[in-house]
Chain A
């Protein structure tokens, strides 16, 4: 399994971008740049890494592209993980890419670090007229809710663990699909959030959906720091144990913050039977602004 054995956090302004000191040999990142954070991260990883490798996943072809070479999911073992120290830039990578690279590194019994930079704000939607609640303009239409191979499994008799984010409609899509038993859902709220008060934004943007699922009284809520994958991992494990006890499959929908998605990917890599959901929304450029805290988590492979 892989586990976090140490971590450090610091403010962006305390980190120097000069001179170049390569601590890492390889860094996996997403080549499309979206916002201030990716600009900064790109400079930073160029400083600390000898080589930067782009990583992307195509859900239609079901293949992972690593540095321009394509690998079908059943052939990931054909990819030779280079020797040396490895860093994964989670700021720009989406859940499916993280999940697959975690799988590859675990299969190769490799330890690695994961980097994440928090933004200072997210882009609010320009009002389309009549709405009072501020909503967020973060992504364009994706493929709709799908299970992420290889974490595919029956959804009847499953226990849904949904991570709430700023885009309530992504939760709404799960409810409206009528495919999931929303009477038996657990929600993760990122509290404390990146910034004090943002938990209110999470709640107000998901208000309609929460009101809908709360007509059946079984919805449960869990809280973990929005930038705390370790606590999030513990909570997933709790829910997983509860589901297993009920002979149900755990279905993870990590649509909240990236650190929470890191924990979900880590948990799935360690537990094959978890079903993973993702909607492949297209991230908009300039979806966030500013750079705040930088986190680095060190993952260790243990037998």
Chain B
């Protein structure tokens, strides 16, 4: 395969996936936490929360009957019948269109019919999937007849096999679609989804012995996007979950679906359900997980893997987790990926930077001006990391030439050695970022390498794949005729290639922010403006503290400003912002320990750091101006910080076209 073919395959992969039959067999890497978090084994109702791109839907689909009874399986264990998971992703724009203010009570009736028809389709698919492996199911259903007679009763027509059920569902969906304009429910069946499922699953238990003791679980995806009234209906079902029929939901992390039901008994956690955060699970072994997913993606694009055991089947089988946890295996996987996407150390980045003549000149004139001895100068030139650090920190008030001299000559006491080393680890990378921004002709590939891709994307697998794809587009083989058959044939992507790929992905993801409803414009203002402020900080030649890339503002999150909290929740649920409580900003004005960082994937676009270091505290007025103020009023804030951070103005383009 040529690189261009691989890229084309990878670009369309996401869309092909949407159209599949609901099975994720051979396109899913079983995560290590699966045994602790088997959706079928959790006895209470689950609310699965995960940020955008964390793979919620895929995770649920892995447990659904579409995957468990996929035709391609060779052997199906009988335990699969212990719990059967039905997956339902509602037709969101349609459901949102069914507004109570328009349709009154009919709104929920239309919703119930939509839910019932979708779940009936799931049952039809279930029978069809199971019968692929257990053909006696069909004959049992035919002989006992309970199921088909129940289906006939529900549908009020004669249905006696899968084909006629599918045909009825198709016809009835069409019929319903003609009843909204003008609204007319005359003669439409009243099907209550829960009663229908209880009735039909009981019939299945009676008709087929393997379903005798089955627990049926319904998983409703994108729950947060349903209307409040629709959520109330589903919540009532969740509250009534039992051993036979259990209702579960999945939604975006930090979205706030209602806990109300149709009665005055609200849903309560943990009595009625438990919220499980998928992100936390994924973060624990994200690196190896991401590496395996990328290998799987390449395999599905048509390449073969050098590790013979590493097949899509292997990665999708939970029996192999122990082997995948072994050190040897992980080293092999990571070395395969590291070969394609090598990560330069910070020291290597400094060496790349030092090749640049103007950096060299800058350093040598600086060292001259500091009045260091020839020997110290020579030693400093040999220790590139230290040299770069000096370049970035010599203007600091506590910069001490004598200390540096002692250090390079090996005359420092232990504590001083530690202190200098600390300084290097804090400021070397910082200086490289600043040099990139200050000089259009310096392009240190600070965002390159697998390790950095991992840091910038955790826990978003989708972003990770996009970074890898952009990096591949920068391959030296992009327009050659070189053909690959093995993953290890892929020529390592150059540092600069990966860096440019990251810039391009990042830039394109920042552009996407404006289309995140319902606060797209405000989110986009926030990302672009805060990104610009941190860029100004990073560009300053005087770096008094490590990279500034986190922020907070003077608000106590006690519900006084609902609009602001809605906005923040939306930012967190789209993962435009990342929140933590680490209190890195040292400021007395800070009311809570909540701190925010722009999603690190946006760092390359602005040339700022993806490492959480230092930050700023905005006043509420400033923050509101950033989010929704005019360009003119934001200019005021920008000027203020330019002066504060002693950064010259301003927007010379970075060395490449974004």
Query: Chain A: residues with CB nearer than 8 A to chain B?
Result: 60-63, 72-74, 126-130, 132, 139-156, 169-173, 175-183, 208, 215-216, 249, 272-273, 277, 279
Contact = CB atoms under 8 A, between A and B. Distances in A.
A141 B524 CA distance: 11
Given A130-B651, A154-B94, A149 B516 contact: no
B15 A153 contact: no
18 contacts: A62-B99, A72-B101, A126-B632, A128-B631, A130-B651, A132-B657, A141-B522, A142-B517, A145-B93, A146-B93, A149-B103, A154-B173, A169-B511, A172-B515, A173-B516, A176-B512, A179-B91, A182-B15
A64 to B, nearest CB: 11
Given A141-B517, A273-B178, 19 more contacts: A63-B101, A73-B102, A130-B606, A140-B521, A141-B522, A142-B518, A149-B97, A150-B102, A153-B94, A153-B180, A154-B91, A154-B114, A169-B514, A170-B515, A172-B515, A173-B517, A181-B19, A215-B12, A216-B15
Given A74-B183, A144-B517, A273-B178, A152 B97 contact: yes
Contacts of B508: 208
B518 A144 contact: yes
Given A152-B97, A172-B515, A178-B18, A273 B181 contact: yes
A62 B178 contact: no
B182 A146 contact: no
Contacts of A142: 517-518
Main secondary structure, interface of A, reads loop
B286 to A, nearest CB: 23
B296 interface: no
Contacts of A279: 517
B544 interface: no
B556 to A, nearest CB: 25
Contacts of B535: 129
A279 B519 CA distance: 12
B605 interface: yes
B529 interface: yes
A128 B177 contact: no
A104 B8 CA distance: 49
Contact of B93 (A126, A147, A272): A147
Q: How large is the interface on B (under 10, 10 to 19, 20 to 34, 35 or more residues)?
A: 35 or more
Given A130-B651, A156-B91, A141 B521 contact: yes
Contacts of A152: 94, 97-98, 180-181
A129 B178 contact: no
Contacts of B520: 141, 169, 173
Contact of A150 (B182, B529, B532, B653): B182
B255 to A, nearest CB: 13
A1 B506 CA distance: 50
Given A154-B173, A154-B177, A179-B92, A149 B99 contact: yes
Contacts of B632: 126
Contacts of B606: 130
Interface string B166-192: 000000010001101111000000000
A57 to B, nearest CB: 12
A16 B18 CA distance: 57
Contacts of A181: 18-19
Contact of A129 (B18, B94, B651): B651
Nearest to A150: B181
A279 to B, nearest CB: 8
Nearest to A180: B93
B11 interface: yes
Contacts of B236: none
Contacts of A172: 512, 514-515
A147 B524 CA distance: 24
Contacts of A208: 508, 511-512
Contacts of A249: 177
A227 B173 CA distance: 37
Q: Nearest 6 pairs between A and B by C-beta?
A: A144-B517, A172-B515, A147-B97, A152-B97, A126-B631, A62-B102
A215 B15 contact: yes
B237 to A, nearest CB: 22
Contact of B518 (A72, A130, A139, A143): A143
A180 B94 CA distance: 11
Contact of A60 (B19, B101, B178, B524): B101
Given A156-B91, A179-B92, A179-B93, A169 B515 contact: yes
Contacts of A277: 93
Contacts of B521: 139-141
A273 B93 contact: no
Contact of A74 (B102, B518, B605): B102
Interface string B1-33: 000000010011001001100000000000000
B528 interface: yes
Interface string B271-282: 000000000000
A182 B531 CA distance: 31
A127 B631 CA distance: 8
B640 interface: no
B515 A173 contact: yes
Given A63-B101, A128-B528, A128-B532, A155 B651 contact: no
